[in-house]
Amino acid sequence: MKRFMSLCLALMLTAALAGCGNSSSSNDPSNTSAKGQTDSPKATSEAPVSEEPAELNVLVFETPNLTAQYWDDAIKRFTDKHPNIKVNKIVSPDVDRTKYAKQLLATGQFPDVLMSVNVQEFLASKSLMAFEDKYVSQVPGADTVAIDGKVYLLPWGAQTISYIYYNKKMFDKAGATEPKTWAEFVDVVDKLKASGQTPLLYGGAKDPWSTTFLLDGIISTDVYSKVPDWVAKRKKGEVKFSDPLFKNAVLKWKSLVESKAFNEDGLAIGYSQLQDAFLKGKGAMYPMGSWFVAAANAQTDIEIGVFPIPTDDGSIVTPYAVGGPASVSATTKYPEAAQMFATEFVTDPATVVEAVKSDALIPLEGQTVDYVYPPLFQKVVEMSKQGTKVNAFGWENGDAAMLPGMVDEFNKAAQNMILGKSVDSELAALDAKWDEVSKRTK
């Protein structure tokens, strides 16, 4: 009995001590930098030559746009070309592949290649490999997503987050036209309300990230256009969420919330229900990422227009996020094969065209895509070339990415503001949270 009790005590202590550590310097730039992931001994010298037999585990995610068939076809094109390389597809249980990748990492099952994960979240654990120059040079725009000069993700296109998509018929009914300035935008909102229509749509429920598309856009245009390196400055403590510049941007959004410009059921509907609501004409304006163009093109129920987030002076500012799918594990047994797969995936014309078609990717400079763009898509592509490009708030990549978990915290804060909490208290809470996360991860 005594031995049994001792064993129980030992187990209890082990469990309790599990909470007595913290991750060291997970977001300390100095630690995530130069040493980086190329320190992995397997990264170069031990690599087998490219056509030696290899078996790669590839983490993918399936969406209505990027279906199982899409990934299977892309993998087959690669394996047909490289018969010695076997590719096992691992599917993320939901679209949050970053969280799933972390679970795989924690359980020692980190895949060799990962599609569209948030690179910044894996730097502290040195889990990703920096691509070698011979692969980086093959991919247009790869240098734009470098972190401390190293490329951990190969891009294949860009997205604008957010533009405002609108229902032309509802605008006509209200006698509204595309606004350019913030004052005109508020006027459009008033006209839509006066005509008995819901001006703006947002979502929530299980998808809190769908709450903030307009707010993300306003912060991008108002804050990032003036302080492009806002996140880097926040990391150094030089700016705060509660500073007047940031606060004023949030107040613009809050004034729309208070004037009941949004749908009443926003917090109760998820992303797919939100999109459905716009396509069924339940709201006139839908602030959203450019991937919406794919769904807009696939329907014929409503006629859709698009305009950028209106600014105070009417200047065009485009919140722009360069993104891509392919990252490689630092501990892969087959670094050459994994990098080759990643590179060929983002440069294979058929794979890229399918992604452009289904996920509405905007081509990067130097990238040519053999695709006839539908009119709305073409307009988005042209708009993205106008005005000033800034990072899309909440969707930043590379060096400009926020601390882990802060985007979720921001979404929760936005929901709290919708529920009536004050802008001041929520921004102060975000500052406190940022400092806490920063301190805990040092």
Partner 1 sequence: MYPDFNWIGIDNYKDLAKDGEFGHAIYVTCLIAIIVTLVSNGLGLLSALLVNFKGWIYNASRTVFFTPQVLSPIIVGFIWSIILTDDGVLNKLLGYIGLDGTSWLANTSIVVYSIIAVIVWQSMGFCTVVFLATLQSIPSDLYEAAKIDGCNQWQKFKHITFPLLAPGITINTVMLLISSFKVFDQVVVLTNGGPGTTTETISLKIINMGFNENQMGYASSMAVVLFLLIGVISVVVVTLLKRREVEY
Residue 151's contacts (CB-CB under 8 Å, 6 or more residues apart) are 130, 131, 136, 142, 143, 145
Cβ of residue 204: shortest distance to partner 1, in angstroms?
Answer: 6
Cβ of residue 205: shortest distance to partner 1, in angstroms?
Answer: 6
Task: Name the CA dihedral angle for 149, 154, 158, 161, rounded to a multiple of 10 degrees.
Answer: -70
Q: Could you give the angle at which helices 406-418 and 423-440 cross, rounded to 10 degrees?
A: 160
Taking the least distance from each CB to partner 1, the nearer of 105 and 113 is 105
| CB of 242 closer than 8 Å to CB of 420 | no
Whole-number Cα distances in Å, 178 to 181, 185, 288, 380 = 10, 8, 16, 15
Query: Is 441 an interacting residue with respect to partner 1 (CB under 8 A)?
Result: yes
- Determine the Cα–Cα distance for residues 146 and 410; give it in Å rounded to an integer: 25
Identified binder of partner 1 from the candidate list 6, 23, 69, 84, rule CB under 8 A = 23
Query: Is 38 an interacting residue with respect to partner 1 (CB under 8 A)?
Result: no
In the range 122-151, which residues lie near partner 1 by CB under 8 A?
124-126
* DSSP string covering 240-307: -TTSHHHHHHHHHHHHHHHTT-B-TTGGG--HHHHHHHHHTTS-SEEEE-TTHHHHHHT--SS-EEEE
In the range 258-287, which residues lie near partner 1 by CB under 8 A?
264-270, 273
Q: Choose the stretch contacting partner 1; rule: CB under 8 A; options: 298-306, 359-367, 389-397, 433-441.
A: 433-441
Cβ of residue 341: shortest distance to partner 1, in angstroms?
Answer: 25
Binding-site string for partner 1 from residue 156 to residue 195, where x marks contact by CB under 8 A and - marks none: ----------------------------------------
* DSSP string covering 194-235: HTT---B----TT-GGGG-HHHHHHHIIIIITT-TTHHHHHH
Query: Is 5 an interacting residue with respect to partner 1 (CB under 8 A)?
Result: no
Identified binder of partner 1 from the candidate list 19, 41, 244, 366, rule CB under 8 A = 19
Taking the least distance from each CB to partner 1, the nearer of 329 and 367 is 329
Cβ of residue 207: shortest distance to partner 1, in angstroms?
Answer: 7
Query: Is 121 an interacting residue with respect to partner 1 (CB under 8 A)?
Result: yes
Burial class (CB in 10 A: 0-12, 13-18, 19+), 107: exposed
Identified binder of partner 1 from the candidate list 207, 243, 303, 348, rule CB under 8 A = 207
Binding-site string for partner 1 from residue 391 to residue 420, where x marks contact by CB under 8 A and - marks none: -------------xx--x---xx-xx-xx-
Taking the least distance from each CB to partner 1, the nearer of 118 and 318 is 118
Identified binder of partner 1 from the candidate list 6, 24, 67, 84, rule CB under 8 A = 24
Query: Is 252 an interacting residue with respect to partner 1 (CB under 8 A)?
Result: no
In the range 61-120, which residues lie near partner 1 by CB under 8 A?
99, 102-103, 105-106
Quick one: tokens of 283?
């709201």
Query: Is 431 an interacting residue with respect to partner 1 (CB under 8 A)?
Result: no
Query: Is 244 an interacting residue with respect to partner 1 (CB under 8 A)?
Result: no
| CB of 179 closer than 8 Å to CB of 310 | yes
Query: Is 32 an interacting residue with respect to partner 1 (CB under 8 A)?
Result: no
Q: Among candidates 308, 315, 287, 323, which has minimal Cα distance to 384?
A: 308
Cβ of residue 108: shortest distance to partner 1, in angstroms?
Answer: 10
Identified binder of partner 1 from the candidate list 5, 15, 49, 372, rule CB under 8 A = 15
Separation of first and last alpha carbons in the chain:
44
Total site size for partner 1, rule CB under 8 A? 46
In the range 308-367, which residues lie near partner 1 by CB under 8 A?
none
What per-residue string of b and e applies to 341-368 under the rule 16 or more CB within 10 Å gives b? bbbbbbbbeebbebbbbbbbbbbbeebe
Interface residues toward partner 1, by CB under 8 A: 15-16, 18-26, 99, 102-103, 105-106, 121, 124-126, 204-208, 264-270, 273, 404-405, 408, 412-413, 415-416, 418-419, 421, 437, 440-441
